[in-house]
Amino acid sequence: MPTIYITAPQEAAAEIAQTLVEERLAACVNRVACESVYRWEGDVHTDTEEILLAKTTDERYPDLRDRIVELHPYEVPCIERFDEKDTFEPFSNWRNKTVDTA
Map out the domains of the chain with their CATH numbers. Answer: 2-98 (3.30.70.120)
CA distances from 41 to 6, 20, 44, 61, 74 (A): 20, 30, 8, 29, 13
Check residue 101 and give its pLDDT: 66
**Minimal CA–CA distance to 77: which of 87, 67, 92?**
67
pTM of the model: 0.86
Question: For residue 83, with 0-12 CB atoms within 10 Å meaning exposed, 13-18 middle and 19 or more buried, which class applies?
Answer: exposed
More confident residue, 101 or 80: 80
* pLDDT above 70: residue 102: no
